[in-house]
Structure 1
Amino acid sequence: MSSRAEINAILARLRKLAPMGYFIGAHIRFAAPVMQFQTYPAAWIENYASNGYALRDPTIAWGFSTTGAIRWSMMPIPDPFGIMADAARYGLVNGIVVSCGPLKSRTIACCAHDMREFTNDEIEAISTLVRRLHDITEPPESLTKAQQEALRCIAEGDRHAAAAAKLGITESAFKARLISARERLMAKTTAEALQRAKDYRLL
């Protein structure tokens, strides 16, 4: 199974385990996640963003303070801005936080249930899925010279034929380099691959 297919399979399982939605920030670096996935209600996502809750969210603060899993109802982190109470008004009452990975590349997931607290077995299942997601979304440490050259040509605005001529290879060989770069960066498109390579400081 490819990394992209495994990511989709994990997210599908999480959707079943967290019927009220989830938020996952994978490999948070420089205050932003390398990958982000969420299925929370759209109204809550909009409210969360418009109020700038990310910098004040006690679930995120807990995720940076330690690793493991905890129910929202058991969190020891203060919530002076009333974010959890606000979330409850959008149906996000019962939930958990799962945190894993080193502090310099932490993955934090929040999952919500619409009817009840998560069971211990569900928390363990979710934790296992989040840890696996963390592992398979690990950004690469480097790109090959061929992958870097191909992405740089795209960054400079070259079309495939012109880029291939510049590199002294066939157009099909150039396209193969782009495909390998996309796969290495787990990107759906070349534009996404280019952005990730820049974000990871690989170009």
Structure 2
Amino acid sequence: MPEMETANRHEIAKALDELATICDTGFAFALHIRFTRPNILYRTYPQAWIDRYSEKGMMIEDPVVLWGLRERGIVRWADLDDPNGILAEAAQYGLKNGLTCSVGPNSSRSISGFTRSSAPFTETEAQYLLGVTQHLHDLTENLSAL
């Protein structure tokens, strides 16, 4: 493994460890989405939710994913329309106070989601999470897996 890639992986691991302290109910990264498929997918949400989400093919109608593919920046889940009840169902699995960040060009978009059991993320925390998303997007540009 090249030295630069090893350094990037250590930096990525450090960032993910720090996020675990902020996002007690989980977070997810879909990095470098090309042709609707992420090059790297990393999720710490409860396995029961990941299984339900996958089994029901929720990604196609997920307002977080749809927003992230169309927009860049930050959005709170509470501000998204949820006509199919996906975010409401996620809340039943403990995924509350959600926030999503989206960075990168349309040809290589990265989308992240963050949740926690306490109060919604502050604006300062939201900007920090956007920065982490951009940093991981940059670090993983040439990686194939976490």
TM-score of the pair, normalised by structure 2? 0.91
Q: Structure 1 unaligned segments of length 5 or more: list them.
A: 140-184, 189-203
- Asked whether the equivalents of residues 4 and 186 of structure 1 are also in contact (C-alpha less than 8 Å), the reply is no
* Aligned amino acid, residue 117 of structure 2: D
Aligned AA (1:122): E
The corresponding residue for 2:67 is 62
Unmatched segments (≥5 aa) in structure 2: 1-5
Structure number with higher strand proportion: 2
1:73 Cα offset (Å): 1.0
**Equivalent residues in 2 for 1:16-27 (5 A)?**
16-27=21-32
Whole-Å separation in 1 of the counterparts to 2:53 and 2:130: 24
Q: Figure out how many residues of one structure are paired with residues of the other and give that number.
A: 141
Aligned partners of 1:98 and 1:110 also within 8 Å: yes
Matched, 1:138 2:136: no
Q: How many Å separate the matches in 2 of 1:116 and 1:44?
A: 21
Distance 1:39 1:31, change over 3 A: same
1:38 to 37, 40, 43: 43
Q: Which amino acid letter does the alignment assign opposite residue 49 of structure 1?
A: S
Task: Report the alpha carbon displacement of residue 186 of structure 1 after superposing the two structures with TM.
Answer: 5.8
Query: Normalised by the size of structure 1, how large is the TM-score?
Result: 0.66
Tell me the percent identity.
38
CA-CA distance at 1:187 after TM superposition: 5.6
Question: How far apart are the structure 1 equivalents of 2:145 and 2:62?
Answer: 29
Q: Letter of the aligned partner of 1:45 in structure 2?
A: I
Contact 1:72-1:96 at 8 Å conserved across structures: yes
CA contact 2:40–2:145 (8 Å) conserved in 1: no
Amino acid in the other structure paired with 1:58: P
Distance 1:120 1:22, change over 3 A: same
Aligned pair 1:126/2:103, yes or no? no
- Distance in 2 separating the partners of 1:86 and 1:69: 21
Deviation of 1:16 after TM superposition, in Å, equals 1.4
Moved over 2 A (4+): 185-188
Query: Counterparts in 2 of 1:1-203, with a 5 A limit?
Result: 2-75=7-80, 78-139=81-142, 185=143
